[in-house]
A and B are shown apart, each in its own frame.
Chain A
């Protein structure tokens, strides 16, 4: 069964360092998303991406964040200069279209020390 895959599963980084979280969405999906979940809190939307551009971003998604689809299969989230408060589980998701079922990856746990 097709699934969204994310790498790495866990990343530890020092404050101020850049990190890139990687995702391979389901192959025929056209819409891609990043969400995050701080421990004990709700899952929060970060950004949606369609047709090689951002279609919506949240207030969390400031200039330190960027997304890219560098080739036909990968979808990445870059955090330029990590802060302690960026520590969270980051989920990638994809869907065929808006309003169709969204499928989530297993997440990358980011720990900023």
Chain B
């Protein structure tokens, strides 16, 4: 059974710092991995999708990597800003029905 874990659960950094969020999954047989952002009480905003055949994806200040064999993904945020404060979720797709398995998220606070 696929399980997804995110470490740390919470992170507080000063503005401008580069940071890394971690996601691990127990079954390496995945189709893809998706990173989301969730603001308090709001929906999920898709940030990046990495297919199982890819090693990384970049969007602006965000870079996500995938190491399927070790069951890990990282989300790198460059030059963090207060507006980046949110909860970041990773989710893996392990079945051909589209079912995503989510981690519990990392809550990021970027202090001005």
Residues of A whose CB lies within 8 Å of any CB of B are 31, 33, 35, 41-45, 48, 50, 55-56, 58, 89, 91, 93, 95, 98-107, 109
> Counting CB contacts under 8 A, is B36 at the interface?
yes
Interface-located stretch among B12-20, B62-70, B72-80, B96-104: B96-104
Separation in Å of the B49 CB from the closest CB of chain A?
5
CA distance A55 to B85 in the complex (A): 36
Q: Is the CB of B44 within 8 A of A45?
A: no
> Counting CB contacts under 8 A, is B46 at the interface?
yes
CA distance A102 to B32 in the complex (A): 11
Q: Is the CB of A43 within 8 A of B44?
A: yes
Can you name 24 A-B residue pairings with CB atoms under 8 Å? Answer: A31-B98, A33-B98, A33-B99, A43-B91, A44-B102, A48-B97, A48-B98, A55-B97, A56-B97, A56-B98, A56-B99, A58-B99, A91-B43, A93-B44, A98-B31, A98-B96, A101-B49, A102-B34, A102-B46, A102-B98, A103-B46, A104-B43, A107-B43, A109-B41
CA distance A48 to B42 in the complex (A): 21
Residues of B whose CB lies within 8 Å of any CB of A are 31-32, 34, 36, 41-46, 49, 51, 89, 91, 93, 95-105
Q: Is the CB of A106 within 8 A of B89?
A: no
Q: Is the CB of A106 within 8 A of B42?
A: yes
Q: Is the CB of B43 within 8 A of A98?
A: no
Given A101-B46, A102-B34, A105-B43, A42-B103 contact (CB < 8 Å): yes
Q: Is the CB of B44 within 8 A of A99?
A: no
- Chain A residues, CB < 8 A from B102: 42-44
Q: Is the CB of A102 within 8 A of B100?
A: yes
- Chain A residues, CB < 8 A from B103: 42
Separation in Å of the B53 CB from the closest CB of chain A?
11
Given A91-B43, A91-B44, A106-B43, A45-B100 contact (CB < 8 Å): yes
